[in-house]
Amino acid sequence: MELPDREREERRHNDAEAALRAFFGIAEKWGLSTEEQIKLLGSPPRSTFFKWKKEGGAIPADTVERLSHVLAIHKCLRILFTDDGTGDGWVRRPNQAPFLNGLSAVDFMTTTGHVADVFRVRSYLDAQRGG
């Protein structure tokens, strides 16, 4: 049975806000600076970023996609590394994956701020875990 449009939109909004809360928890575990967080979220205005951090709010589709990739990266790291600290630290360590060229995953994902760079790290980790 299909949900009415209003319910479907409300559910989508609630899911996006839950993903945003999860993102801020991951950002803390990864030791992301405010600037890194803003870039990973698609470079919203600082006032919007701090509003999201404090009380949530409307989240554009591009940001929802980015949140999905970051949450998937976090999940992959939990699967690949038995120690949470090692997995969380992986995003900060220089990496020899061919496309990273010695950069850390965080540096790679935030240099340009393009969603494709976040997706590339996600795809790499998915492949590493056999997904």
| Mean pLDDT of all residues in 111-124 | 94
Decide if pLDDT at 5 tops 80. Answer: no
Decide if pLDDT at 13 tops 70. Answer: no
Q: Which residues contact 86 (CB under 8 A, 6 or more apart)?
A: none
Q: Whole-angstrom Cα distance, residue 44 to residue 53?
A: 12
| Mean pLDDT of all residues in 6-35 | 87
Reduced 3-state DSSP string for 3-56: CCHHHHHHHHHHHHHHHHHHHHHHHHHHCCCHHHHHHHCCCCCHHHHHHHHHHC
- Helix 5-30 to helix 61-80 angle (10° resolution) is 50
Q: Whole-angstrom Cα distance, residue 13 to residue 117?
A: 25
- CA proximity to 100, closest of 79, 123, 81, 72: 123
| Mean pLDDT of all residues in 106-120 | 95
Q: Residue 122, SS3?
A: helix
Q: Quote the pTM value.
A: 0.89
